[in-house]
Chains A and B, each alone.
Chain A
Amino acid sequence: MKKLIKNIFLILLLLNFTSCVKRNFYPDADDPGLSRFTSYGFNVVTEYINGVSYINPFSATRGNSLPFLRKISTNSAFDTLSLSWQIEVNGTQSPTYYFDGICILIPVSKTFNQNDFLALSGQKFDSTKSAIQLNFGYIPDEFPGIANVYFVKIYTNSNDSIRTYTISGLFNGNIGSNTVITDGRFDFQISSVDLNF
C-alpha cells in the first residue's frame, strides 16, 4: 500500500513538472499571420519581415519569451531606451530561425525614469526620432535602420515600488532596402524589478 501511494505521489510530481503552458497567440481574423493587437500583457509580438511572419519564441514550460527593456547610457546628450525581443518564424517553433531578435531604440533624457516611461503611453515616434535594429545571431548589427513606433498603451496595475507594466504598441521600419518590417504589434508585461531605470 505504501509503495502504491509512493508511486502515485511520484507520478503526480512528474505531471507537475511536465505541465505545459499554452502559447499566447490569437490569430487576427484580417491577417492570420499576426496575433491580435491587445493590451492584456500576453507577452506576444508579431510582425512581418520581408513578408514572412515572425513571433517571439515559446517554451512549453516558460511560455512566450519575455522582452528586455533597459536604458543604455551614452556619451551624447541623450541616453537610449532599448526594447528588444527574440524572434522566430511564426509556425515553425524551431531553432533554425534567421533573425535572432529585434531591438527598438529611442533617445531619452539622462534622467529618464519609470514615471517618464509611463508618460510614453499614447506617444508616437517617427523615423526621425527612433531607430530599429535587427540582431543577427547574438551580435548587434552595426547599421540600425529606421523605425516608426507607437506606444499605444502603457499602464501599471499598482503604485507599489515593485509593479508590473503592460506595454502595447505598433511598429514598422526598414534597414536599408533589403529588410522591411511591417505590421508589427506587441503586447508585453514587464516587472519593474527587471528595469535598470
Chain B
Amino acid sequence: MKKLFFFLSLFSCIYFFANAQSFLNISSGISYDINNASKSFYHVPVSVQWKPSSNPRGAFFFELDEDIPFTTKSTGNAYTLNPFLPQEVTLQESIRGYIFAASIGFRVYLHKDKKLNSLYLNILPFGISTQSFKVNYKNYDDKNYEILNPDVNLKRTGVVVSMSAVYNFHNNLMLMLHLQSPLIADKGDYPLSYRFIAPLQFSIGYNFYYNKRK
C-alpha cells in the first residue's frame, strides 16, 4: 500500500510540476522468471518510466519497477520422532518473491514508420533492486515436526542491469518486453531451493507526453 502511494505521489509530482519533462509512462502486464529452473516466479509488474528531456533521440530516463508476486508452490518434507504421529509428512510450501527496482538508462531508436509508430531499445546499465522472499509451509506443526532442508525468508538489495524493447503505437500506447538480470548480491552460504529472480516482463502501457516538440 505504501509503495502504491509512493508511485501515485511520484506520478502526480512529475505530471503536474515538472514542465521540462518529455513524458511519463506507466505500464503493467505479466512477468515470468527465467532464472529458476525448478520453480518459476510469476508477477504482475508495475513500471513507471520518466524521460525528463524533450529531445526525442538519445535521452536518458529513469525507471521504477514494482513486481507484485503470485504465490509459487512447492513441497517440503517434515519428520518426527513422535511414535504417535506419521514419521514423515509432505508439506505444501509457498514462496512469494517481491521485487522493487530503480534504474537509470538510455534509449536507442530503432525504427519509426509513417504513422509515427516507433520501436526502440531501452538499455538500463545500472539499477538498485531489492528482492524479498517470504516462505511459508502450510499446516506446519512446528512443535512435533522438523522440516528437512527448509527454505527460509531472504531479503537482499543489490545491483541489476536490464534491457527492454518498446513499441510505441497509437500515439500514446506502448508494448514493452523487459528483461532484468538477477540481483548481484550475496545470497549467503545456506542452500535455498530458489535463486534470485530474473523477471522477463511483457507489459502494455500509456505515455503521458508533456512539453512535446512540434
Contact = CB atoms under 8 A, between A and B. Distances in A.
A40 B148 contact: no
B152 A29 contact: yes
B149 to A, nearest CB: 5
Nearest to A173: B81
| Among B142, B148, B152, B189, residue most surrounded by chain A Cβ atoms (within 10 Å) | B148
A192 interface: no
Interface stretch (A99-107, A111-119, A164-172): A164-172
Contacts of B79: 37, 150, 152, 170
B148 A37 contact: yes
Chain B contact residues: helix, strand, loop or mixed = loop
B83 interface: yes
Contacts of B153: 29
A30 interface: yes
Contact of B81 (A22, A26, A36, A124): A124
Nearest to B189: A22
A148 interface: yes
B87 A36 contact: no
Interface string A164-187: 000010111000000000000100
B83 A37 contact: no
Interface string B177-193: 00000000000011100
Contact of A36 (B83, B150, B189): B150
Given A30-B142, A124-B87, A171 B148 contact: no
A26 to B, nearest CB: 5
Size bin of chain B's contact surface: 10 to 19
A39 B81 contact: no
| Among B79, B81, B83, B148, residue most surrounded by chain A Cβ atoms (within 10 Å) | B81
Contacts of A26: 190
B83 A168 contact: no
B87 A150 contact: yes
Contact of A170 (B83, B146, B149): B146
A156 interface: no
Interface residues of A, number: 20
Contact of A37 (B146, B189, B190, B191): B146
Nearest to B77: A152
A170 B79 CA distance: 8
A171 B80 CA distance: 9
B83 A38 contact: no
Interface in A86-133: 124, 126
Contact of A40 (B80, B83, B142, B149): B149
B81 A172 contact: yes
B147 interface: yes
A70 interface: no
A184 B147 CA distance: 13
A149 to B, nearest CB: 8
B189 A39 contact: no
B61 to A, nearest CB: 41
Nearest to B150: A36
Interface of B: 79-81, 83, 87, 142, 146-150, 152-153, 189-191
19 contacts: A29-B153, A30-B142, A36-B149, A36-B190, A37-B146, A37-B148, A37-B149, A37-B150, A38-B148, A39-B148, A124-B81, A126-B83, A148-B81, A150-B79, A150-B80, A152-B79, A153-B148, A168-B148, A170-B80
Interface of A: 22, 26, 29-30, 36-40, 124, 126, 148, 150, 152-153, 168, 170-172, 185
Given A29-B152, A37-B150, A150-B81, 4 more contacts: A37-B149, A152-B79, A170-B79, A185-B146
| Complex A-B, nearest 8 residue pairs according to Cβ-Cβ distance, in ascending order | A37-B146, A30-B142, A148-B81, A152-B79, A26-B190, A170-B81, A38-B149, A150-B81
